[in-house]
Structure 1
Amino acid sequence: MDSEAETVMQLRNELRDKEMKLTDIRLEALSSAHQLDQLREAMNRMQSEIEKLKAENDRLKSESQGSGCSRAPSQASLSTSPRQSMGLSQHSLNLAESSSLDMLLDDTGECPTRKEGGRHVKIVVSFQEEMKWKEDSRPHLFLIGCIGVSGKTKWDVLDGVVRRLFKEYIIHVDPVSQLGLNSDSVLGYSIGDIKRSNTSETPELLPCGYLVGENTTISVAVKGLAENSLDSLVFESLIPKPILQRYVSLLVEHRRIILSGPSGTGKTYLANRLSEYLVLREGRELTDGVIATFNVDHKSSKELRQYLSNLADQCASENNAVDVPLVVILDNLHHVSSLGEIFNGLLNCKDHKCPYIIGTMNQATSSTPNLQLHHNFRWVLCANHTEPVKGFLGRFLRRKLMETEIGGRVRNVELVKVIDWIPKVWHHLNRFLEAHSSSDVTIGPRLFLSCPIDVDGSRVWFTDLWNYSIIPYLLEAVREGLQVRSTLPTDLLKVRGTVLVTRRVVFVSLFRNLTDVR
């Protein structure tokens, strides 16, 4: 018995050693994959520069009639060689990506190196230090991955792994455009009191030496206002970077925008995020009074006109300029009958002294050209068929799914199908509403954001949502569309006759089978 026990202990020790080596190899593979990514991006930049130089060279050739012909062959050969190199490195990169997906969940069970000084570590993106949120309900931490850090893991390997995991997470959340972010969006990360960045010195101990006690989390910092970057706002809002840059540019240049679109498309959410960004961009703190919100209804037109008139007077007065809010949010402007009259009080207000104004409304009105011409407003369309609204639901649900999978360290194929199916249902319903009513009554993604990340729970949730919210809304929207058109299409007769049956049978069956809506 003693000899058998010794043999078992010896085998266990050998197994532990091999698992430690395997963990180090996987981490080094991720670091190498990150380096390949950097080389790939550098080669892409070189390729674009070469193409620009080639175009410029061709232009100079046509102007100087052959003065630059001798350089063309060498440039042509340069333009083809990076493509060939890209083809060679692409295969290795794909292999690295497939292996790094396992590291995103670290589904190897208990960390084999825990007794040897290794730890199972969660990687989170943290906004707690960078910004002071006005809303306590907004998440401060986003779980993006889990890894096993052994006692031999080096800092340069961990640097590559963290950046690689961030990029993998972005690719999973937004497979189309990756939100315009990449591994360069990572400013650095911290383990306990150690803050790690590209310019920081290597600490005395290895990473595992700072993962002590309950400290099993690596907090990743994303570039933000201090780096003159929108990356942190893009990551939190899930709005692609080019679109968010356009919104900020319109506000900085014109100081007045109106977000227009159907209900539930996130106009108020976007207005709040933009206003907070503007306040922090101006070097101010998010204190009471720096952002003023006016919720407009049918009876508040006079109050709004008086408020804006008083605001213009305050801007003109040097004594009261301190009390003027930096940003004014005017929510639900579609309740105002004449927007031109409401904003006439701001005509004499100088732009550089007037607060930023962000308005929201459900649809454009006949006063739109007048506001653009006389009041310097810029219109931003938030439609369900265009970005950033079109892909927001999918990005939001995939983020929730990622956090659930990473937290539970398990993948659920059926749940992946559910998350893929819900946006298809949403787009199908909006196509139906556009065909039989109008785009103004399409359904925003907000209605579907509460989908539980659970197969059985999501089935119950969707059945209730379909029976008690979607079907009554569809019937009312189609009824209003019929009153406008005054005719009843043949296909719509069939739809109305079968819509109750669809409510009880067809969509429940579709939800169980997780197939495309027809």
Structure 2
Amino acid sequence: MEHHRIILSGPSGTGKTYLANKLAEYVITKSGRKKTEDAIATFNVDHKSSKELQQYLASLAEQCSADNNGAELPVVIILDNLHHVGSLSDIFNGFLNCKYNKCPYIIGTMNQGVSSSPNLELHHNFRWVLCANHTEPVKSFLGRYLRRKLIEVEIERNIRNNDLVKIIDWIPKAWHHLNSFLETHSSSDVTIGPRLFLSCPMDVEGSRVWFMDLWNYSLVPYILEAVREGLQMYGKRAPWEDPSKWVLETYPWSSASLPQGGPALLQLRPEDVGYEGCISTKEATTSKHIPQTDTEGDPLMNMLMKLQEAANYSGTQSCDSDSTSHHEDNLDSSLESTL
């Protein structure tokens, strides 16, 4: 409460809006003011409302600075989805002359950090709270939530289903596996929050159908788009490995529960995201040939090919097979980054 102004930042689906509302309710309780509709003002930000938000905050700052202010201001202002704002510093510029002790509490949420965050922290006394999937409390939230949900069902039904326990233990592992894949090929900003997985049904067959639909119609389309953007921004940083491979290898539902001729889990091919010609780690140690069609007419690639040939020739004369393989792997990684 001593900071007055905080921004909850992190990937989508990590519970930032829920936490903002709970914090607002806590502030109202601690302030001693009755919990009314006017006590908390919520502003849902979009691409078209930046100017409107700036005017609202400037007007609010004027009211806070007025000596005779008869209007009753909200205790807390929630600014949801601040990532839609082009410049946070411009939006909050009206708060420069605002009397700190009279200003309402500001709780903002945004899907990721922005370059203007240091300016906000220094000049406007904002405090940033990271809600990341790889740190607590978000990291273990899904497991805690599903286990609690399972226990409630077990108490209600007075029965324990070991198959369902196995499934509930597996769901958070699958979530972490997908986020690890997304971080490898893009960044932590595009990782998936636990929200999508909270609706897992508490029965074996229902959970199987639920996960099949979630994977095929929500997760796979999102992953494909996120990895495509990651490739454009960062290039190829790691060998391709289909995330569905791990899912199928650790699948907690028995094969007997799978319907004959029913829908199967979609798999992600490297060509779907622009990984055409990507060489896996195993293949890279056995074959270093780059198709001629990829390099014809490209002076840069021709030069790199000549450098690779020279390095390979030198390596065979002075290095053993293990060190040569390691050197070529590094060179292949450089080539992939260039491509």
Scaled by the length of structure 1, the TM-score of the pair is: 0.47
Within-5 A mapping of 1:317-328 = 317-320=66-69, 322-328=71-77
Higher relative contact order (CA 8 A, sep 6+): 2
- 1:412 deviates by 1.6
1:343 equivalent to 2:92? Answer yes
Structure with more of its chain in helix, by fraction? 1
**Structure-1 separation of matches of 2:247 and 2:105:** 49
The letter of the residue matching 1:485 is: Y
Q: Which residue of 1 aligns with 2:279?
A: none
Q: Which of 245, 251, 260 lines up with 1:510 in the alignment?
A: 251
Change (3 A) 1:506 1:362: closer
Identity %: 69
The letter of the residue matching 1:324 is: L
Q: Which residue of 1 aligns with 2:323?
A: none
Q: Secondary structure at the match of 1:512?
A: coil
Within-5 A mapping of 1:416-435 = 416-435=165-184
Q: Secondary structure at the match of 2:192?
A: coil
Within-5 A mapping of 1:279-290 = 279-290=28-39
Contact 1:315/1:321 (CA < 8 Å) preserved in 2? no
Q: Which residue of 2 aligns with 1:476?
A: 225
Which protein is bigger by CA-based radius of gyration?
1
**Structure-2 separation of matches of 1:428 and 1:279:** 39
Q: Secondary structure at the match of 1:347?
A: helix
Q: Which of 112, 136, 143 lines up with 1:387 in the alignment?
A: 136
1:298 equivalent to 2:47? Answer yes
- 1:317 deviates by 2.8
Change (3 A) 1:410 1:487: closer
1:403 equivalent to 2:152? Answer yes
Aligned residues: 255
- 1:369 deviates by 1.1
Q: Which residue of 2 aligns with 1:459?
A: 208
Q: Which residue of 2 aligns with 1:449?
A: 198
The letter of the residue matching 1:511 is: P
The letter of the residue matching 1:463 is: M
**Structure-2 separation of matches of 1:295 and 1:256:** 17
- 1:408 deviates by 1.6
**Runs of 4+ off more than 4 Å:** none
Contact 1:463/1:508 (CA < 8 Å) preserved in 2? no
Change (3 A) 1:487 1:286: same
Q: Which residue of 2 aligns with 1:171?
A: none
Q: Which residue of 2 aligns with 1:439?
A: 188
Q: Which of 105, 108, 112 lines up with 1:359 in the alignment?
A: 108
**Structure-1 separation of matches of 2:222 and 2:96:** 41
Structure 1 gaps, min length 5: 1-251
Within-5 A mapping of 1:144-293 = 252-293=1-42
Change (3 A) 1:266 1:292: same
- 1:322 deviates by 4.3
**Structure-2 separation of matches of 1:438 and 1:346:** 33
Contact 2:167/2:253 (CA < 8 Å) preserved in 1? no
Q: Which residue of 1 aligns with 2:285?
A: none
Change (3 A) 1:314 1:458: same
Contact 1:436/1:478 (CA < 8 Å) preserved in 2? yes
CA deviation map 1:437-492 (0-9, x unaligned): 11000000000000011111001100110111111111111111111123474x21
The letter of the residue matching 1:430 is: N
**Structure-2 separation of matches of 1:382 and 1:427:** 15
